[in-house]
Amino acid sequence: MKDAATPVLLEVRDLRTYFHTFSGTVRAVNGVSFEIGQGEVMGLVGESGGGKSVVGFSILGLIDSPGRIEGGEILLEGRDLVTAGEDHLRDVRGREISMVFQDPMTSLNPLHTVGRQMDEVLRLHSDLRADTRHRACVEMLESVGISRAAERLKAYPHQFSGGMRQRVVIAIAMLANPKLIIADEPTTALDVTIQSQILKLMRAQIADKGASMILITHDLAVVSEMADHITVLYCGNVVERGRTRDLIENPAHPYTRGLIDSIPDTSERLDRLNQIPGSVPDIRTLPAGCNFRDRCPRAQALCATEEPVLAPQHNGLMAACHFPLQPGERP
Amino acid sequence: MFGYLIKRLIQMLLVLWVVSVIVFLMMSFTGDPVFMVVPIDATDAEIAQARRLLGLYDSLLVQYWKFITSLVQGDFGRSYVFRQPAMTLILERMPATVEMVLVAMVLAVVVAIPLGVYAGANPNGRLSRIIMSSSLLGISLPGFWVGMVLIYLFAVNWGVFPSSGRGDTAEVFGLRVSLLTWDGWHHIALPAITLSLGTMAILLRMTRAGMMEVSRQDYMKFARAKGATRRDVLYKHGLKNALIPVVTIFGLQLGDLIAFATITETIFSWPGMGKLLIDSIYRADRPVIVVYLMLVALIFVVINFLVDIVYTLIDPRITLK
Ligand SMILES: Nc1ncnc2c1ncn2[C@@H]1O[C@H](COP(=O)(O)OP(=O)(O)O)[C@@H](O)[C@H]1O
Ligand SMILES: [Mg+2]
């Protein structure tokens, strides 16, 4: 799905991450595949509970019990992270792949200064001397738009606003020049006015460093501005993926169509009818067939018996649907 | 900061004043101390004379005024029994109590925090389950019972520890200290262990709960996403956060230890101020009881003040205002 010319940075193949809970096995990610080219931004979208965060944590090897990666491969420049040991993963985390969390109010340790939390990354991943590390932290903090950086390094997280904290988190994520940033709903917890500033900042940062990004969000409007490619997740499966423009303008999967139609149009007031009807099913008890069929206006008998698989559609899109939409067609 | 100290000082004085009122009322409504000071064969006239001397014919308000003014002037009265200043009596015995309480507290902390951290970090481990079950015992078994069992086992049956008294002490700056002699350690072991068990169990459970709570926090996962080891994340990021609630109850626990010391001292005949208190209650030796209660109130207030200071040292979000 990346453009043919760009070399692949990360390839996820048939990833399966399950949580073995008391009330049954949660197949949070159940056979997800995608690729990201170097310097590309991939949007990972879908409603809440679709498995987006679990994909992100799986890539970093941060799935804790009762969760487990049950199968698949996560190839970073050809090297599999699923089978890699914890030592290798620790070298990868923060240096090759870093992460930005949803809520900046909780992602920083309240008892450590911002400087110490930034410095930790450099101490973990470099042999730089203390003064060099300090200078790097000051520069990084300035580059995410925080003035009087040297002074601010001595401050504690509670002395920053939410937006400023997210800038700090981004600074920490960028500090060791990672090749890939996984941003998990980086603006969801922020004021609308600050959201676009943070997104601009992230775009500038990765463009500057030539890094790639997985932008996780439930907000298609955000990814359509930022991403080169989009992968749509539903109940732990990829239901559609493709180049941003093709996917937004002519989606093949009715679920994607539903997500696009539910983007609130700034010129109209939010219309309830535009929401996808129904809600995400309980993934512990998914029946046979297509997971989306109960909410799908195009569902037919076949959808209840046979699970659709990802197949090529128009404009190079891939979609898992028995009755995909044609360009211009409405469900 | 200065304003805070002033405010705190006024608060502390207020608390002590309230305690003085309560102590005074308690004393006034319990028993008649006059029989403690007159000989058994005293005549009615002598008793009346003693009453007058003790000021028992004055109104309560006047009595309280006399009581509080002499307290403020540092005149705490003489023990009816020992005919010595009550303060001197208490201060003589305080080091023994303080020593036992401190040993018990250190023991509790040294055992509880590492075990609590371990149990919180490995909530499903077999060892953690054993630790947690034992801590339940520590909470639910009454101290006097544990004390008697320990005496039975270690003193009576095996004869490894003495069952009573303080043993040899060494003198430092005029204070008698058990911890400087081997015999002193020998004597303090059982009472200190007995006293520490309850606090140990509570601190352990608080630490574990704190660690488990903290393990779920985003900043722990974020620290791991930076590449820190699980161990570093747990101890460098988690521990301090987990200990905040533990510090909060630390002051209360220290107060508990002082209170329970009276029981432990009685069981082990430990010559501390707690045992003196119990003896004085039996003898209706009012001045000693008053001094004990006021002193313990003062200790409480000071400890809680110190805990608040420690709190601000740990948590930058808290400032002294
Ligand atoms: N620690 C966990 N234990 C059990 N189930 C989990 C756990 N973490 C996530 N899940 C489940 O995995 C599914 C996907 O979650 P998530 O990836 O957080 O969704 P999204 O980020 O798309 O909103 C959800 O159904 C969620 O309940
Ligand atoms: Mg999520």
Residue that has been written with the tokens 């193949």 in this structure? A13
Nearest-ligand number for the alpha carbon of A49:
1
Name every chain B residue with its beta carbon within 8 A of the beta carbon of A112.
Answer: 237
- Is there an atom of ligand 1 within 6 Å of A235 CB? no
Domain map (residue ranges) of chain B: 15-72, 89-314
Candidate from A15, A30, A54, A182 with most ligand 1 atoms within 8 A of CB, to mutate: A54
- Has residue A1 got a pLDDT over 60? no
- CA dihedral of residues A224, A226, A230, A231 (deg, nearest 10): -110
Q: What is the pLDDT of residue B72?
A: 85
Buried b (16+ CB within 10 A) or exposed e, A311-321: eebeeebbbbb
Under 8 Å between Cβ of B12 and B305: yes
How far apart are alpha carbons B153 and B194 in whole angstroms?
Answer: 13
Residue A63 touches partner B, C-beta closer than 8 Å: no
In contact, A72 and A14? CB cutoff 8 Å: yes
Q: With a 6 A CB cut-off, is A283 part of the ligand 1 pocket?
A: yes
**Looking at beta carbons, which residues of chain A come within 8 Å of B227?**
90-95, 121, 124-125
Q: What average pLDDT does chain A have?
A: 90
- Which tokens in the block code for residue A85? 């040991």
A interface mutation test: which of B216, B220, B222 has the most A CBs within 10 A? B222
Provide the β-strand partners of residue A252.
none
As for the ipTM of the complex, it is: 0.91
The pLDDT, as a whole number, for residue A227 is 94
Nearest CA, atom 3, ligand 1: A19
pLDDT for the residue numbered B75: 84
Which carries the bigger pLDDT value, residue B170 or residue A137?
A: A137
Do A16 and A27 meet the contact criterion of CB atoms below 8 Å apart? Answer: yes
Q: What are phi and psi of B61, to 5 degrees?
A: -60, -45
Separation in Å, CA B316 to CA A149, A315, B180, B313, B319: 19, 56, 39, 7, 7
pLDDT category of residue A310 using cuts at 50, 70 and 90:
very high
Q: Do the bridges between strand A212-217 and strand A180-184 make them parallel or antiparallel, or are there none, so unpaired?
A: parallel
Instruction: Give, using CA atoms, the residue closest to atom 7 of ligand 1.
Output: A19
Q: How many CB atoms lie within 10 A of CB B52?
A: 12
DSSP assignment, residue B85?
A: B
Give the residue-averaged pLDDT of A120-142.
Answer: 94
For chain B (321 residues), the mean pLDDT of every run of 10, in chain order, is: 86 91 84 73 82 79 87 84 89 90 94 93 89 89 87 85 78 74 83 92 94 92 94 90 88 87 90 90 87 90 88 83 68
Say what angle helices B2-29 and B60-72 make with each other, to 10 degrees: 130
Q: Do A121 and B227 touch (CB under 8 A)?
A: yes
Number of cross-chain residue pairs from A and B with Cβ atoms under 8 Å apart: 64
Q: What angle do CA B167, B173, B174 make, to 5 degrees?
A: 55
Tell me whether residues B223 and A121 touch, CB distance under 8 A.
no
Contact B228 A124 (CB under 8 A): yes
Cα A104 to ligand 2 centre (Å): 14
Q: So what's the pLDDT on residue A271?
A: 52
Provide the whole-model pTM. 0.83
Question: A108 and B222 in contact by Cβ < 8 A?
Answer: yes
- Inspect the interface and report whether the beta carbons of B222 and A60 lie closer than 8 Å: no
Confidence category of residue A150, pLDDT binned at 50, 70, 90? very high
Cβ separation of A99 and B222 shorter than 8 Å?
yes
Q: Which pLDDT belongs to residue B249?
A: 87
Chain B contacts of A107, Cβ < 8 Å?
A: 218-219, 222
Please report the pLDDT score of residue A3 as a whole number: 57
- Best CATH choice for the domain B89-314 from the list 3.30.1330.60, 1.10.3720.10, 1.10.520.10, 3.40.630.40: 1.10.3720.10
Tokens of B259: 């209170």
Q: How do beta strands B170-172 and B175-177 pair?
A: antiparallel
Which ligand sits nearest to residue A29's alpha carbon?
Answer: 1
- Indicate if ligand 1 lies below 6 Å from the C-beta of A92: no
Q: How far is the alpha carbon of A188 from chain B, nearest alpha carbon, in Å?
A: 15
Q: State the alpha helices, DSSP H only, in chain A.
A: 52-59, 86-92, 114-125, 130-143, 149-152, 162-174, 192-209, 220-226, 244-249, 254-261, 301-305
Q: Which of B219, B315, B317 sits opposite A108 (nearest CB)?
A: B219
Residue A196 binned pLDDT confidence (cut-offs 50, 70, 90):
confident
Among A35, A30, A55, smallest CA distance to A45 is for: A55
Cβ contact A324:A308 at 8 Å:
no
Contact indicator for A168, A157 with CB cutoff of 8 Å: yes
- R_g of chain B computed on alpha carbons: 24
Helix (H, G, I), strand (E, B) or coil at B171: strand
Tokens of A167: 């800038």
- Protein residue with its CA nearest to atom 4 in ligand 1: A19
User: What are φ and ψ of residue B47, in 5° steps?
Assistant: -65, -45
Is residue A119 a contact partner of residue A108, using CB atoms and an 8 Å limit? no
How confident is the model at residue A86, as a pLDDT?
Answer: 92
CA A177, A97, A36 angle in degrees (round to 5)?
A: 105
Mutate to test the interface with A, among B212, B218, B226, B315 (most CBs of A within 10 A): B226
Looking at the CA of A55, name the nearest ligand.
1
Ligand 1, atom 20: closest residue by C-alpha: A49
Q: Which of A109, A110, A125 sits opposite B227 (nearest CB)?
A: A125
Report d(CA B262, CA B282) in Å as an integer.
Answer: 13
- Which element (helix H / strand E) includes B288? helix B286-314
Please indicate whether residue A186, judged by its CB atom, sits closer than 6 Å to ligand 1: no
Instruction: Please say whether the beta carbons of B170 and B180 come within 8 A.
Output: yes
Strands, E assignment, B174-297: 175-177
Contact B72/B66 with Cβ under 8 angstroms? Answer: no
Cβ of B222 and A101 within 8 Å?
yes
Whole-number Å distance between alpha carbons of B248 and B27: 32
